[in-house]
Amino acid sequence: MTRTAYTVTALTKGVSAALNANDVVAKGYIDVGYATDKLVIHAKGDGTNKLTLTILAGNGLNSGQGNMVVEITTTQEKMITLLEPERFAQANGQLHINAAVSAGTIGDAKLRIIKI
């Protein structure tokens, strides 16, 4: 299965920006180069199913720490930060995120990817 690109919203001081809400996909990626530490991922449950996000370890020096797994309950929202490139950046500069739900399909869960 190929990966689907998530849209990233770049924030600029003093400039208003609409935050794009990406539909969660089973296998997605963020094309970030190696600036993963400048990202904030805002995850929101779909109101019905528990969402599990897995941010895959990359190829860097700290990749041996493994994947990061974040669980979001049905109505929860979480902010995920401090994604150090030494742990998560893939060799091609992407950040890979897998998603699964407790039952059914991914549904209406949303991700907002914010570059600060």
What tokens were used for 102?
């407790």
Q: How many structural domains compose the chain?
A: 1
Q: What is the mean pLDDT of residues 6-22?
A: 75
Residue 15 CA, chain-centre distance (Å), reads 24
Domain span including residue 70? 4-115
Whose tokens are 């993963």? That residue is: 36
pLDDT tens, 30-65? 887 756 667 889 898 888 888 999 999 998 889 999
The model carries a pTM of 0.85
User: Which amino acid is it at 93?
Assistant: G
Could you give the CA distance from residue 37 to residue 74 in angstroms, rounded to a whole number? 27
| Average pLDDT over all residues of the chain | 84
